[in-house]
Amino acid sequence: MNLVNRESLIPDLRSSKTQGQSNFVNPGLQLFNIGADFEITPKLRLISNANFLWFDNTETLKLLTFQENIHRKIGTDLSLGFEYRPWLSNNLIMKLGVSSLIPGQGFRDIYNNIDVPVRTLFAAFMDVELTY
């Protein structure tokens, strides 16, 4: 059972999006977002984003993980990226960036291992969009 499924933002406690029974009692998500885009040149844009994430209710997580205390704070998601349009049209758009999740106490409560503590998670992404 996954806390969050692939390419999803909502913690729904399903085995997958296509298989498994729906779970209508899930921890829920509260999200506060702040972000800004900056036009560096007509061809290049800087995209910055910060998300602050909390569980709405941790009772189902406590039952599922057999833990007494799970805090609500999931953590802080930070991302920074660039969008490049070399021909000043939408025929070719390239996006490149990095993102990280700084774990909060709730994330640590669920995923901390006795031997290996949870560390900040990092990811890089690249997207090329071609349109004719």
Highest mean pLDDT among 10-19, 59-68, 75-84, 106-115: 75-84
Averaged over 107-121, what is the pLDDT? 88
Q: What gap in Å lies between CA 132 and CA 124, rounded to an integer?
A: 27
Q: Is residue 17 part of a domain?
A: no
Q: How many domains does the chain have?
A: 1
Instruction: Supply the pTM of this predicted model.
Output: 0.81
- Min mean pLDDT across 26-35, 46-55, 119-128 is at 26-35
Please tell me the predicted confidence (pLDDT) of residue 114. 75
Q: Is residue 44 part of a domain?
A: yes
Q: Is residue 25 part of a domain?
A: no
Q: Is residue 63 part of a domain?
A: yes
Please tell me the predicted confidence (pLDDT) of residue 63. 85
Element (H, E) at 52: strand 44-55
Tokens of 112: 């901390």
Q: Is residue 21 part of a domain?
A: no
Neighbours of 70 (CB within 10 A): 20
Please tell me the predicted confidence (pLDDT) of residue 21. 66
Is residue 132 very low, low, confident or very high in pLDDT (cuts 50, 70, 90)? confident
Q: Is residue 62 part of a domain?
A: yes
CB-CB contact of 130 with 110 (8 Å): no
Is residue 40 very low, low, confident or very high in pLDDT (cuts 50, 70, 90)? very high
Range of the domain at 99: 30-130
Q: Is residue 105 part of a domain?
A: yes
Please tell me the predicted confidence (pLDDT) of residue 93. 97
Averaged over 30-45, what is the pLDDT? 97
Please tell me the predicted confidence (pLDDT) of residue 20. 62
Q: Is residue 118 part of a domain?
A: yes
